[in-house]
Structure 1
Amino acid sequence: MYYVIVFQICVQQPMDNLTFTNSILLMEGLKVTSQSSQPVFILLLLTYVFTMVSNIGLIFLISTEKNLHDPMHFLFCNLPLNDILGTTVIMPRLLQDILRDTSERYISYAECVIQAYFVHVFTVACHYVLMIMAFDRYVAICNPLYKIENPFCDNASLFKLSCENVVINNVFGLVYTIVVLSMSAMCIFITYVKIATVCITSKNKTLNSKAIKTCSTHLAVYLIMYVSGATFIFLHRFPEYSDSRKLASIMFHIVPPGLNPLVYGLQTKEIKQKIVKLWCRKK
């Protein structure tokens, strides 16, 4: 739907130098009969109102809902903005001309240039927005974002994203993990067996009480770290237990660091005395 513009042109000296002498142009507009002008006007008016309300409502929804504040929806928001511009540039003037006689549909040259400019902007913007959205769909479908199924990045998660054969990496990682966990467990086991032997054979109740108090908390922290770490590592081989693996990984990185200051800081006599002194000074 467009307008045909009838230009009034006159010839000025020198010859072949054509220029506009009138700033008023005549619009041909839509050719409708007098009987059908009102139904056409009502139909176009309802279409314009629906277009404006739906596009403004969509923009309002995207701007007010925080969960829609992402790049994709902001890109999508450009489409209704452009639709409002394109419809408003054409429809009000078209509705006005429908109710006028064909010989009375005048428009100034300045208005015509402004309208032509915004029609051009609307057309180009439509193509650009739709091209960008098409490219976005292409990236999302043909080159999707790689998903790390973990609360943080680790070697096992990165290996899962690799396009190469990572069998050697997985075997080496599994063997290395088993060796480290075995050495750690063996060292702790041997150490605590010797401590238990000394406590059983010793008659010193003060020494035994201090050993139990210190070692029990240390062993509790170690067991939490060991079990959560081992669970986190081995459950990487079983995708169906991803929630349990995530919980174990969080425990491994949060619980021991939170307990270590309490276990080793407050139970150390010198540190405890310094804390008490600082606390008393502040009071």
Structure 2
Amino acid sequence: MNVTYNSPTLLIQGVDIPHRFIYPAFALLLVAYLIILTTNIGVMLLILMDRSLQQPMYLLFFNLSFNDVLGNTVVLPRMMLDIVSTNPSISYSWCVSQAFFSHTYGTSCHTVMMIMAFDRYVAICHPLRYTSIMSPTMVARLTVSAWSAAITLVSISLGLAVRLKRCRSIIPNAFCDIASLYKLSCQDLSINNITGLITTVILHGLSITSVAFTYFRILVSCVSKKNKELNRKAIQTCASHLVLYLIMLWSGFLILISHRLQIHNSYRTLAALLFLIIPANMNPIIYAIQTKELRTKIVQKVQKVTQLQELNNVAFKPTAA
């Protein structure tokens, strides 16, 4: 087909939900999104306001929470709107923006996870050298590298998608991503597919290799040490980290496979929701609250708020005549 489609509006295929489940699905997504915002923004504000928490490990937590808020804010509100809409549509410019930020989120999940795994490796395997290795300068460099790598990889793939001439007007997904933008075109997609495959292999290869290597070294270090209590806590924390990483990894693989094999949109959407919602809800618990110092700060803040509420209730309580 040589037809060129230049309309600024695209139709979203959306999710095939029976009418009676539309509002329950909307409510579930809304609750999940509000929990993500509350927990992750709470962790970010606590780290920003408390100078004692402005250390390498907590600054990496900040990156993770920021990324979770970014990814879910780009996708979930728009998806909730489309669920209750009778004719979901989106402008092409916003579709491109959503694809950029959603893929930046997905790519940053891997790059940020790599530097967090490295941080845990240094903390557990080289505790005496942790301060010198994970200096503020090193943390800044690792953070910039993680986000720069993510933005660069996404920009290359998205640039190849934007250059294509459109001949279709339907996004075959519940939200915009780069693969869906490819499918708007009838041109030869060989270069796009090869580039996408190369960037995917590089990203996932580096991610899996670095995380596997660092956690293997952590396991070896824990087994060789005699402190059973310290080793138990380290292994427990690393195990929970690894479970979340595997959920993120396999749900990401499902999204890629569903596009390649033309699997039904509902399965692709389910995989995307797993990728977005589960890690973003669990990260503040596993990465933040399991950390003793941060957990103590959260408890102190909650106690202060409770005490202020009690004082306000006493102050405004009407006295007996």
What band does the TM-score fall into relative to the shorter chain?
0.3 to 0.5
> Which of the pair has more CA radius of gyration?
1
TM-score (norm 1): 0.48
TM-score (norm 2): 0.42
